[in-house]
């Protein structure tokens, strides 16, 4: 019979000392603030560390990012090869075996191969992996300053996070390492897209939203979109709106689809309630109490502001009703602009940076 030791704050270990569950306070103090191993909670004094790439090494090599830099929200440029978070050697090896080895092989098979990999029962593995990447990006923000100006003492980006949502994502991302099962209903919406190739980019794209609890990851001509905590709710909300899409999508259209999903998630009024259960003698599991989804009244400006916020440097090539630059962004922020659908709601047959 498997037995567990539960601390006063709810942190749970098995009898061999393996961390099963981090309480919220333990997650905040040990992982976020002190920088212990984000998987097992071990401090640097107890284990050897070799740290974990935020974006897997195989992705960096596949997209040729060895000499490229990732732009943080504060404008700082960090080499992809040094963009890491604290992780002990044992857990790093475990993460590689659970996630990186099978998923990198699936990506090597191209869009159709990855789609088949997901359809063959591995969609939950992909969702947990994307949750892991989202988690690592935001844990790294506890080392990233809000502003680079040393005269302004605004602390680290992570200091300003509400960590409750990240606590759940942390539990999902590390569940497989702790032998914790995840109820199928816990996982959120996942979509895969074929993307137009472009000669003027490195084949890599990433953006996420802590507000919308979603992320977008593109590796060459394959893009994955994942909403982490909607239990599939946004897929139903958008089933008619996004029923027919261009194939392949342009990079700008991909950002629009992503903005629709995180905006839909923001509009969910009553959220699912997640919990980690550790029943005596049984396998621990993450479960969810699913509500009857109720929605806030739809506000197109929510979608518009989120869409404008994820356009990034693509704005230099966008024209909206003759407007460019900041004026184009203002029009996009109204929520009335689309690069996927024309004025009549029909799918555009060309994917230029012109919207209406």
Per-residue pLDDT reduced to its tens digit, 57-83: 999 999 999 999 998 888 889 999 999
Residue 43: predicted pLDDT: 94
Q: How large is the average pLDDT for residues 164-171? A: 95
Residue 199: predicted pLDDT: 67
CB-based contacts of 55-62 (< 8 A; 24+ apart in sequence) = 55/80, 55/83, 55/133, 55/204, 55/206, 56/99, 56/100, 56/104, 57/100, 58/100, 58/104, 59/204, 59/219, 62/104, 62/107, 62/203, 62/219, 62/220
Kindly state whether residue 116 falls inside one of the protein's structural domains: yes
Kindly state whether residue 249 falls inside one of the protein's structural domains: no
Distances from the Cα of 228 to the Cα of 58, 93, 135, 187, 189, angstroms: 23, 25, 11, 7, 7
Kindly state whether residue 312 falls inside one of the protein's structural domains: no
Quote the tokens at residue 234: 């946004």
Distance CA 288, CA 108 (A): 34
Residue 302 has pLDDT above 70, yes or no: yes
Distance CA 272, CA 327 (A): 38
Asked if 87 and 95 touch (Cβ cutoff 8 Å), the reply is yes
Residue 350: predicted pLDDT: 60
Residue 148: predicted pLDDT: 84
Q: Which of 52, 56, 51, 226 is nearest to 130 (CA)?
A: 226
What b/e readout covers 268-282, taking b as 16+ CB neighbours within 10 angstroms? beebbebebebeeee
Residue 73: predicted pLDDT: 86
Residue range of the domain that includes 162 = 1-183+285-290
Distance CA 221, CA 111 (A): 8
Please, is 351 exposed, middle or buried when counting C-beta atoms within 10 Å of its C-beta (0-12, 13-18, 19+)? middle
> Do the strands 19-21 and 12-14 form a parallel or antiparallel pair, or are they unpaired?
antiparallel
Residue 282: predicted pLDDT: 86
Distances from the Cα of 130 to the Cα of 144, 146, 211, angstroms: 21, 25, 16
Distance CA 67, CA 65 (A): 5
Asked if 84 and 52 touch (Cβ cutoff 8 Å), the reply is yes
Q: How large is the average pLDDT for residues 243-254? A: 91
Residue 243 CA from chain centroid, whole number: 23
In this predicted structure, which of 1-10, 253-262, 267-276 has the lowest mean pLDDT?
A: 1-10
Kindly state whether residue 62 falls inside one of the protein's structural domains: yes
Q: At what angle do helices 300-310 and 251-266 cross, to 10 degrees?
A: 140
Residue 349: predicted pLDDT: 66
Residue 329: predicted pLDDT: 96
Kindly state whether residue 255 falls inside one of the protein's structural domains: no
Residue 152: predicted pLDDT: 84
Looking at the structure of the chain, the number of domains it has is 1
Q: Given pLDDT bands bounded at 50, 70 and 90, which one contains residue 356?
A: low
Kindly state whether residue 94 falls inside one of the protein's structural domains: yes
Residue 150: predicted pLDDT: 80
Q: How large is the average pLDDT for residues 247-257? A: 93
Q: Is 314 helix (H, G, I), strand (E, B) or coil?
A: helix
Specify which residues 286 forms β-bridges with.
182, 276
Q: Which of 199, 184, 266, 256 is nearest to 225 (CA)?
A: 256
Kindly state whether residue 211 falls inside one of the protein's structural domains: no
Q: Given pLDDT bands bounded at 50, 70 and 90, which one contains residue 107?
A: very high
Q: Given pLDDT bands bounded at 50, 70 and 90, which one contains residue 277?
A: very high
Kindly state whether residue 80 falls inside one of the protein's structural domains: yes
In this predicted structure, which of 35-39, 201-205, 298-302, 337-341 has the lowest mean pLDDT?
A: 201-205
Q: Is 138 helix (H, G, I), strand (E, B) or coil?
A: helix
């Amino acid at each position: 019979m498997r037995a567990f030791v539960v601390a006063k704050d709810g942190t749970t270990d098995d009898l061999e000392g393996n961390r099963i569950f981090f309480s919220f306070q333990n997650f905040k103090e040990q992982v976020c603030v002190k920088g212990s191993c984000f998987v097992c909670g071990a401090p640097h004094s107890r284990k050897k560390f070799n740290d974990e790439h935020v974006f897997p090494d195989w992705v960096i090599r596949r997209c040729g990012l060895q000499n490229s830099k990732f732009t943080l929200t504060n404008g700082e440029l960090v080499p992809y090869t040094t963009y890491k978070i604290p992780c002990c050697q044992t857990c790093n090896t475990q993460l590689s075996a659970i996630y990186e080895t099978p998923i990198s092989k699936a990506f090597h098979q191209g869009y159709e191969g990855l789609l088949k990999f997901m359809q063959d029962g591995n969609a939950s593995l992909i969702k947990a992996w994307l949750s892991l990447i989202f988690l690592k990006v935001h844990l790294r923000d506890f080392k990233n300053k809000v502003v680079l100006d040393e005269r302004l003492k605004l602390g680290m980006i992570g200091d300003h996070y509400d960590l409750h949502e990240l606590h759940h994502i942390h539990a999902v991302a590390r569940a497989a390492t702790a032998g914790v099962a995840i109820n199928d209903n816990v996982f959120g919406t996942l979509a895969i897209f074929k993307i137009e190739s472009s000669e003027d980019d490195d084949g890599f794209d990433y953006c996420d939203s802590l507000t919308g609890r979603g992320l977008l990851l593109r590796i060459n001509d394959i893009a994955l979109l994942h909403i982490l905590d909607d239990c599939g709710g946004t897929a139903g909300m958008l089933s008619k709106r996004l029923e027919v899409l261009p194939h392949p999508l342009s990079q700008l259209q991909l950002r629009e689809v992503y903005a629709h999903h995180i905006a839909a998630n923001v509009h969910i009024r009553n959220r699912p309630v997640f919990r980690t259960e550790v029943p005596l003698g049984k396998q621990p599991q993450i479960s969810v109490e699913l509500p009857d989804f109720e929605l806030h009244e739809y506000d197109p400006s929510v979608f518009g502001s989120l869409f404008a916020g994820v356009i990034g440097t693509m704005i230099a090539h966008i024209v909206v009703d003759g407007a460019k630059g900041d004026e184009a962004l203002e029009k996009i922020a109204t929520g009335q602009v689309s690069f996927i659908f024309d004025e009549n709601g029909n799918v555009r047959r060309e994917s230029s940076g012109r919207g209406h």
